[in-house]
Amino acid sequence: MAFSRELMEEIKNRNNIEDVVGRVVPLKRAGANLVGRCPFHSERTPSFTVFPATQTYYCFGCGAGGDAVSFVMQSENLEYREAVEELAKRAGIRIEENFGEKSTQPSVRRDRMLELNREAARFFFRSLLSPEAAHARDYLQKRQFLPVTVKRFGIGYAPGGFNAPLCSHLISKGFTPFEIRAAFLGGEGKNGRLYDMFRNRIVFPIFDVNGEVVAFSARRLNEEDERKYINTSDTAVFKKSKVLFGLNIAKNSEAGSFVLCEGAPDAIAMHQAGFDNAIATLGTAITSEHARIISKYTRTVFLAYDIDKAGRKATLKGIDLLNQVGVDTKIINLGTETKDPDEFIKKFGAEAFRAKLNGSTGQIDYSIDEIIGRHDISVAEDKLRAVSEVTEYIAGIASRPEREVYSQRAADKLGITLEAMRSEVERVAKKQGYRSKSEQVKKALNEQSGFGSAANTDKLRFSSEASHEEAILGILLVRPDYGPEAAKLIDESDFATSLNKKIFGLFKEEISSGREIVPSKDGVLTPRETGALERCRASRLQLGDNTFAALESHIRALKELRRRADYDKKIEDSPAAALNEYLQSIKNKNKNGDKERDHNGEGS
């Protein structure tokens, strides 16, 4: 898919990279550039750099990089098309409807799908008032959802049967069967007829952070139905790994924190009880994308997952992912009398739940309890295994005073002396410290060499070639005016690594015409690949030697390495043929030398 070059240039000109990034990251001037703390990973020392001269950014910590479109894609979890539309909207630019001129696949425009979802939401809400929906209203009353709550969240009812009332309604409103299927609101049966995807279910509309209906979560009313919940599959406007139910409301809460639940009904019940900071994942455990989104709005999250085994597993995953983006987690202990926040609030009331929030467990205490809970510490062997695992965990805490505090707590729980626990923790911490330093040195060396690159997996095999390739791309990014001459000397077939070959081929037209390279072009490169491309630019900006002579030198070196590699392969495949070729090259070289001497009047 592609927008016109003229449109993309206009969008870029009206969306200065400083302003785009500055909406998310506080930036400070550092010479000609700007720096701030990276929004994509947790860090104390700012390593995120914005380059106004090239209208790009690069994080020297995690490798994220790109242009304004790339930043909006990563920071707001949007697809390429959505990011371009968002930037166009901010700049007051109207995008014509001929998007996708290079695509052969039919698609549904974002605004059209949002309109489709809005109409479906209205249909479901009206259907809840119909005589057929009496059992649905009884269910909501049993769950103690008040009418004002039902209205606020747009809760509705999907009629039963196979006569497709929703699909028929949407078609009457001018939507096509293709659009209905693309929105996951209808399917096509064996006879070619449309059927409603949601039937005889309570329907919870899912809103994105801007309050647009992007999907639906439907709960069964007939307990015999195999699937308790059916959620909208990923569409052009919905990615379940990137959407959090209730965030459109919770982001404006004065609580200063979020309460993360497992599903929409839990979150709705909490909002009804006065906790307007409740959010929920949908049909999936928390993802790294969810964690990054949460980190944009708060630094504290209370985890309120179910108390079953799956809930505990999800809690540990949540702690890990949220910590990675700098969000502190606290765990709400609901006890054993209720299984989730909704049930607890109904049984004990909102104030009792608030008390649970205030007395929530820190993530370290929770993790220690989880480790001990996996073992029967009344059995000596199990107790020793528990001590070993807890020791390993506490030793990983960076702060020595914190290790002291948690050693005391763990010792009490395990029934051993503080001195025994403390000495073992410090012994393991020292060992981990040595291991960590060794790994950091190894990682730094690998990063310097380009080994272990997730974007360019060929760098380990072709380390020398990759070094020259990155220099070539970096210089062309900094000095696009060298492109036309460079294109006469090299093409993508000269590249050894698949990523750099892909990049050169993607931007061949721009290079040949001397135009600036736009990293987000057509959304072809992944975030990691875009980051790898920006690493090339950032490295050259730091080195400073970006003359055409330097570019030529790297091109010659790369072509010589490739020539040697081809010759080595020929020797391996056919030694005799390689020898003949070598002798012929010497003969040709001598012949050319003789001609040159004759031309200069030398020889006999």
CB 168 within 8 A of CB 128: no
* Phi-psi region at 151: left, alpha or beta (left = phi > 0; alpha = psi -120 to 50): alpha
Name, in order, each residue with C-beta under 8 angstroms of 488's C-beta and a sequence gap of 6 or more. Answer: none
Sole residue written with tokens 């052009």: 236
CATH code, 297: 3.40.1360.10
251 and 201 both lie in a single domain: no
φ/ψ of 261, rounded to 5, equals -110, 175
Give a yes or no: residue 602 inside a domain: no
**Which residue numbers in the chain have pLDDT < 50?**
97-105, 444-445, 447-452, 603-604
**Residue after which a domain boundary falls, among 183, 205, 231:** 231
298 and 223 both lie in a single domain: no
CA-nearest of 425, 420, 325 to 368 is: 425
170 and 139 both lie in a single domain: yes
CB 348 within 8 A of CB 273: no
What does the pLDDT read at residue 581?
61
505 and 526 both lie in a single domain: yes
256 and 288 both lie in a single domain: yes
**Residue after which a domain boundary falls, among 231, 258, 290:** 231
Give a yes or no: residue 592 inside a domain: no
Give a yes or no: residue 334 inside a domain: yes
CATH code, 44: 3.90.580.10
* Token pair listed for 25: 């990251």
| Ordered DSSP codes for 174-223 | T--HHHHHHTTSEEE-TTS-EEESS-SEEEEEEE-TTS-EEEEEEEESST
Give a yes or no: residue 10 inside a domain: yes
List, for residues 369-418, the tens digit of each pLDDT value. 888 888 888 888 888 998 998 888 888 877 788 888 888 888 988 999 98
174 and 118 both lie in a single domain: yes
Torsion of CA 116, 219, 298, 315, to 10 degrees: -140
376 and 395 both lie in a single domain: yes
Total domains present in the chain: 5
Give the range of the structural domain holding residue 69, as residue numbers without chain letter: 5-91
Sole residue written with tokens 């036309």: 484
CATH code, 526: 1.10.860
Cα 146 from Cα 124, distance rounded (Å): 17
What does the pLDDT read at residue 575?
61
476 and 520 both lie in a single domain: yes
The dihedral sign for the CA sequence 144, 149, 155, 159: positive
CB 211 within 8 A of CB 229: no
What does the pLDDT read at residue 511?
93
The count of residues in the chain is: 604
* Token pair listed for 141: 């009353």
398 and 343 both lie in a single domain: no
11 and 70 both lie in a single domain: yes
Sole residue written with tokens 């404006």: 252
**Residue after which a domain boundary falls, among 39, 58, 91:** 91
Cα 342 from Cα 386, distance rounded (Å): 34
Helical H segments across 490-547, by residue range: 498-506, 508-513, 527-543
Distances (CA, A) of 157 to 126, 220, 351, 598: 8, 10, 31, 95
Give a yes or no: residue 292 inside a domain: yes
Buried b (16+ CB within 10 A) or exposed e, 106-118: eebbbebbbbbbe
CA-derived radius of gyration, the chain:
31
Give a yes or no: residue 578 inside a domain: no
Say how many CA atoms lie within 13 Å of 16 toward its Cβ: 6
Q: From the CB of residue 351, how many other CB atoms can be counted at a distance below 10 Å?
A: 11
336 and 402 both lie in a single domain: no
CA-nearest of 51, 44, 101, 42 to 71 is: 51
Give a yes or no: residue 197 inside a domain: yes
pTM above 0.85, yes or no: no
CB 240 within 8 A of CB 120: no
Cα 462 from Cα 469, distance rounded (Å): 10
141 and 42 both lie in a single domain: no
What does the pLDDT read at residue 307?
65
